Structure formats: C-alpha cells, structure tokens
Structure 1
Amino acid sequence: MKAQGFTTQIVHSDRRLNLESGAVHQPKHQSVLFKYDDVQELVDVFQGRNPSHAYARSSTPSMNALQNLICNMDNGLASVVFSTGMAAISATLLTLLKQGDHILVSHFLFGNTNSFMQQLNQYGIEVSFVDVTDSQHVAEHIKPNTRLLFCETIANPVTQVADVVGLTALCEAHHLLFILDTTMTPAYLFNAKAQGAHLITGSLTKYISGHGNALGGWVTDTGTFDWSTYPNINESYKGADPKLWAITQIKKKGLRDMGGSISSEACHLISVGAETLALRLDRICANALNLAAFFQRHPKVKKVYYPGLPQHPQHQRAASLFKYFGGLMSIDLIEEADPFAFLNSLDLVLNATHLGDNRTLAIPVAPTIYYEMGAARRAEMGVSDNMIRLSIGIEDLDDLIADFNQALDKIA
C-alpha cells in the first residue's frame, strides 16, 4: 500500500489508536493518578514491564497520543513531550551530560537556549560556541571529552543556516551525538532523520501548534545513534534494546525527576493545531518569500535576512535542505529610522514575542529578546541595534504588504 501523505497521517493519527467510543481525538485525561486492581500491574508499570500509567508527571494517555503523532512526523523511534521547548532542551542535555563533559553548540543560538548553554559551565560542563555554518570550523574545537553537537537548522533572528550535511559527517567520524533543533523547520519542511540527526528537539508552541494557545516541547530519538557506546547512560535504564536507553533516561529524569511535564489540555490543543501544519506552512512560506522580496526592494530597508533570497550567504544550502525557506526573517531599517516608531505604526502586524503563529508578529531584537547578551555579544552574532524580527503568518499577502508599506512610508 502506498505510504500516506504528511497531513493525512496527522489528521488520522489519534483515531488509529483505537480510542474508546469511536472518538477521533484522544480525550483529555485530567486524572493525576491511575489505579490498578492487581498491585502487581502497578509494580510492573514502575519497573518498566507494563507501558501503562502510574502518575501524570511521567505519562498520560494524552501525552502518549501527542508523542505518537510527533514521532510519526519525525519518522523516529520514540518521542517524549514536555511542558515547553526549553524544558525539552534542558532536560535532554542535563540527563545525557555529566561534569567533565565538553559540548559544541551553535554560536548563533536563540537567546534563551544560549543562556542555558552558558549556565552549563556552572555545572562543570564545558561549552564551546562554534560557527555551525562551517563544519571545518566546528572540527577545530573537538576535544577528547566532547560528547555532542547542538545546533538549530535556521538561527533566530539572523537566519544563518547550519551546514547540516558537513556537521553530520563530522559527528559520524568522531562518534558525537548530533542534536538538531528543528523549531524553525518542522518535519513538513525538513527531514532531520534523513539528514543525520540523532535527536530532534524544539518547541511545539511555534509552527506545530500554530495558534499560540499552548506551550509545549519535544525530543525525538531517530534510532540512528549507538547508545551502547555512550558513557553517560545510567545502568538502571540499560534495557534489552540499546536504542531505547537514552529516550528512557530522558523521560525518567526529565519528566519524573525534573518535572517538565505537559498538561493534557496542552497536548490536545497542540495535536489539533498540528493537523493544519502543512497547509499553514504552505501559506506562511509563500507570504514570507514575497515579503522578503518586497523588503529587498524598499528604499527604507537597509538589509533583509531571509534564506529564500539569492543574496543570503547560505541560500543554496537552504534550497537543498528545505522544502521551503521558512516563515522567519529579520530586517534592518535604514540608520536614520526609529524602529519603535515604525513598529508602533503597524496596524495589522502585532508587536509580540513569539514565532510560528497564524498572525504576523514583529519585535525589536536588541532591546528585548537579545538585551541580556549585551552589545558586544549581539555584534558578534550579527544583531544590529535597529534589527526587527518578523514571524510571518497566514494573512492575505496584499494586506501584509499594505501594512508594512504604510509604516515604512512614515519613516522620514
């Protein structure tokens, strides 16, 4: 039988779990506890012989349904969902690393992820920030105690595109774990497993959800890393199948011990939003490409950062990796422009800090999401003082162009 399409699989994901009463969506299971008539069944759940549930911090039917959907989307071995994307990232790294380890992370990481990586130094984990657009530069920073490489497919907000092909080859050659954050390029746009990622992680709040009504994050093990050779797996999680060792440890430590659990309500809202992921991304990416071209031509815009433009330094790489170029872009206004005045002149576009929403959003980067980094660090990352980040939505293109045009016209 021919493999079903991306959206078809998502839309019918829940009902294929043979839900009670013929439901097509997994019901929201709000119970924190789960009882068993035979105490041996409860013991088997605790000891991993029974895949059922004991306590909602670790698992619920609602969490399982969302994990099933995400795992199918990523074509992975197993997935775990968390309360936020940052919970997923921090739990994954804190459960797989120990004092004395060294890791390589992207020099262009999103602000909160960047902040977390710097905090790892306080725990005795050495972190090297590297230029992931150049795998040769990354190779120069590998040490005997290097355990993994972490990067994003497309950086936020300057849109640098990682050298995924080169980084995959590098990780394979040195037996490093390759963790790829695909928040900017979910599975409809990019096949992370096929490109060599061992773990896929990111925010469910953004494109996968789309509506901005629920927080969530995830990690998927693609089943392509040999965990039997990884030194930081706890003996109690070394079951019969080595492929499941890491995801079991991440789930046990990240949910049970660290408590980064997602609610059943959020699972439901994210699952419903995911059904239209492909449809939304078709519209979002088309809008973004057209708006990038519009900004490129406008005399009040000094520079446009978008991988879909031929002038982008990694344009050809992005074209080879992704179905479309995504919905994130940034612009630098001309130097004499007041970014705040421009943003306050927008009527349709919202001034808000979020990405991947159905609505188009704008935010000044330097005084908000990258303020804590300081001017020197921002300059190193290519973030100018008048940079504006845009997350493009699904509105009608003509309406978006009209709104940006009227705001740009007000710049003296």
Structure 2
Amino acid sequence: MKENNKPGINTICVHTGEVKDEQFKGAVSPMYMSTSYAFDGVDVKRYPRYFNTPNQEMLCKKIAALEKTEDGLIFGSGMAAISAAMFAFLKSGDHVIIQQVIYGGTYNFIVSEFDKYGIEYSFTESDTIEDFESLIKDNTKVLYIETPSNPLLGITDLAAISNLAKSKDILTMIDNTFASPINQNPADFGIDIMLHSATKYMGGHSDISAGAIAASKEHIAHIWNTAINFGGNLSDQTVWLLERSLKTLNLRVKEQTKNAEVMALYLEANSDIDRVYYPGLKSHPQHELAKKQMKGFGAMLSFELTNGIDAMDFQNNLKLIKPSMSLAGLESTTVSPVQTTHALLSEKERLERGIKDGLIRFSVGIEEPKDLIEDIEQAIQKAKK
C-alpha cells in the first residue's frame, strides 16, 4: 500500500470493485445475470435499470476510484452517459456553454435535441478561458469541455474552467475519454462530472460498448434520478467484461501512450505530413499546459496529409493499421473524421473547427512502432502513385 493507505493504480485496476466469490472463492468476480431480485427483507431492491445489480454496483466503485471521485454510474454507451448527465442538470430555460471542438456525436446531440426542450446553448470560438467567460449568462448552468479534444487534440485549462465555474455557481462536465483516468484526473482540478465512452480505453479490446460517469455522491444521485427513466443501463455480461478489461487499463494505456509519443515524432518529421496534432509535441501550442494537467499525453493523435495524398487512398493501402470507426483498442486504427465522427457537420462547420479532408485520426495501439512506421511509409508511397 502507498502513503495515506491509498492503493496504487494497478491495485485499483485489479482489485477495487471486485465482486467477492464467497461461495467458491474464485479469483475473478462471479457474474450475476438475474434481472429479477427479491424486494422484501433485503437491504437493496435490485433491478438492472436501477444500476444496482451486484456487478453494476461494484464496477461503479472501480470507475469512481480510478477517477478519484466518490461514486460512479455505467451506461450502455458514451452518448447514453453524456445525455443522461446533460438532461439531469438542464431544463427548459437553462443555458449551457460547450467547447467548440468536441466529439461530433455530442455536437449533433446538442443541436438536434436541445431546441426541442427549450435549452439554450452556445459554442465557444476556441478553448480559451476568455471565450467561456464571455458567453456566461444569468441562466448558464453547465460548462461542457473535452480535453484532449476529438479530433484535433486541443487542450483546455481544467483549473481555469473550474475556478471560473465555481465563481459563478456553474457545474462543470468533461469528456475525459481521450486521456483516460490513467493520463488525467480532472477531479484533481475541481471539475465536477467526468464522462467517458467506456467503449474506448476502459474497454480497450474493441469488443465492448459502454459509457461511464464519475462524480460526487450528490451529483451521481441527481443523475440517477434522470437516468433510470431513460433506461440506458448496461447488461451484466458486458459489465463483467468491462471489469475484466479495466484490470489491465494502466498497463495498456501506458504502453499505447509510449508508442504514440514515438509515432508523433516520426510523423512530425515526415515531409508527406503537413501537421501533427499531439499534446506531447513541443510544437503543440498547449504543450506546457498539457504537461501541467496530464500525467501522460495519451495515445491519440491526428495528422494532415499533404495535398495530393488522398486520405482514403492512404488508409485503404494500410496493411497493419486498421481503418476503423472506433478507437483505443490494443490494435492501431485510423479514421477520417470528415466521413465518420464529424460527418453530421456541414463542410463549413468542419472547416471552422479546423477539420480538413486530409485529416487522419490515429489511435495508437501496442504494436512495435517500427512496424507501424513501415506500414505508414508503404501506404503513403502507394497513395502517391
């Protein structure tokens, strides 16, 4: 055990939130698949949609421990977590401020749904604190950020956002998916609610769809009251798989982060690449800020191919790296944001956010960097022809 009797990160990953096998003393959590539990003579009336089956309840403890919060909730997808959190704290007549460059699914959710409910929203023009402050109104209830952002890896100042929000009695939410709890703990900087697409690093094997929220007991209780009505709970079989995956979270993310740093330096020096977006590079405009609030720079990066190299031609010629819709698996993947994550935005909206046709989002896996470099080199040469 470490100082203050707090377990280390690998110990949390492996042991916190285990379901004890009291009957057979197995080394892993038993899986409780029941959808029907006793209601009389029990301490907890359990029901899957109430997020409190044995496997759900214990997994929430692990996620809370990883994010250094009091409590957590798990959902069927990242968007289920985001929508439940937003609707729990926003009602007709309220106002939310959203960082300009965010995941396209979140953007589409806001612009497609909020008007129906009379919820006002404003997007910043950048990720500076001044932009957020200038948009605050008397009815502003939430500041929503994503850092590092998807897909351009922008960095938002967590402490500044938290201080601004607290001075105005406004709630803060962050999509912490790209960093994962291994590389960043926003609660350390005063952020109120941490959101994750647990499909990504928490799942880590490209075989789980899930979402997660970590926050104080008070905030989780408030979200729970809304979430039980939306029915976005996760099946216990997937809950069990997610707990299994979280046991290796630290090992996986550290290896992926190490590889991403190598790949970012290689891509930055490549004459066929116009620009690389990675907070670990000294050329990144917010590199120093990233150093202050991140424990590692993450395994996600993006790069722009030079004119004349078609993004899809390049990806179709990859042999090892997989062009794929999702990210954060053990295997390296690429995606064209204009065709996937940000396809619902107009061309004008994409360009305003710096998302060009030649942009490739690169999720770095655990393969040897030399093999990834060789694959990129041959794909570029074939795309040129």
Shift of 1:190: 1.0
Shift of 1:28: 1.6
| Secondary structure of the structure 2 residue equivalent to 1:160 | coil
Q: Supply the distance in 2 between the matched residues of 1:330 and 1:174 (Cα, whole angstroms).
A: 35
User: Is 1:343 aligned to 2:315, yes or no?
Assistant: yes
Between Structure 1 and Structure 2, how many residues are aligned? 379
In the alignment, which residue of structure 2 is the partner of 1:35?
38
Partner residue, 2:209: 215
Q: CA deviation at 1:212?
A: 1.2
Shift of 1:131: 4.2
User: CA deviation digits over 1:306-335, x for unaligned, max 9?
Assistant: 111111111111111111111111111111
Distance 1:351 1:213, change over 3 A: same
Q: TM-score, normalised by structure 1?
A: 0.89
Amino acid of the structure 1 residue aligned with 2:69: G
SS at match of 2:296: coil
**Residue aligning to 2:81:** 88
What secondary structure does 1:205 align onto?
A: coil
- CA distance 1:19–1:9, change in 2 (3 Å): farther
Indicate conservation of the 8 Å contact 1:14/1:26, yes or no: no
- Give the Cα–Cα distance (whole angstroms) in 2 for the partners of residues 380 and 278 of structure 1: 36
Code of the residue aligned with 2:226 in structure 1: it is K
CA distance in 2, matches of 1:297, 1:129: 34
Report deviation, 1:368.
Answer: 2.4
Measured after TM superposition, the shift of residue 276 of structure 1 is 1.0
Q: Distance in 1 between matches of 2:149 and 2:286?
A: 12
Whether 2:66 is the aligned partner of 1:73: answer: yes
Any gaps of 5 or more consecutive residues in structure 1? 43-49, 224-243
**Which of these residues, 325, 339, 363, is aligned with residue 335 of structure 2?**
363
- Structure 1 residues 396 and 361, CA gap change in structure 2 (3 angstroms): same
Distance 1:245 1:165 in 2: 21
Provide the secondary structure at the position in 2 that maps to 1:22.
Answer: coil
The percentage of counterpart residues that share the same residue type is 30
Shift of 1:54: 3.0
2:243 is the alignment partner of 1:250 = no
Counterparts of 1:26-175 in structure 2, within 5 Å, are 26-36=29-39, 39=40, 41=41, 50=43, 52-58=44-50, 59-118=52-111, 119-131=113-125, 133-175=127-169
Task: String of CA shifts for 1:234-286, please: whole Å, max 9, x gaps.
Answer: xxxxxxxxxx44322312321x2110010111111111111111111111111
- 8 Å Cα contact 1:132/1:162 also seen in 2: no
1:148 and 1:121 map into 2 onto residues whose CA distance is: 16
Q: Which residue of 1 aligns with 2:372?
A: 400
User: In structure 1, how many angstroms separate the alpha carbons of the residues matched to 2:164 and 2:89?
Assistant: 20
> TM-score, normalised on structure 2?
0.95
CA deviations over 1:35-60 (Å, ceiling 9, x no partner): 24xx3x46xxxxxxx4x233221121
SS of the aligned residue for 2:69 comes to: coil
Indicate the SS of the match to 2:115.
helix
Q: Aligned-pair RMSD on alpha carbons?
A: 1.6
Amino acid at match of 1:173: S
Question: Could you tell me which amino acid in structure 2 is paired with residue 248 of structure 1?
Answer: A
Would you say the 8 A contact 1:106–1:151 is kept in 2?
yes
Structure 2: gaps (5+ residues): none
Instruction: Identify which of 345, 350, 369 aligns with 1:378.
Output: 350
The DSSP-based 3-state class of the residue aligned with 2:372 is helix
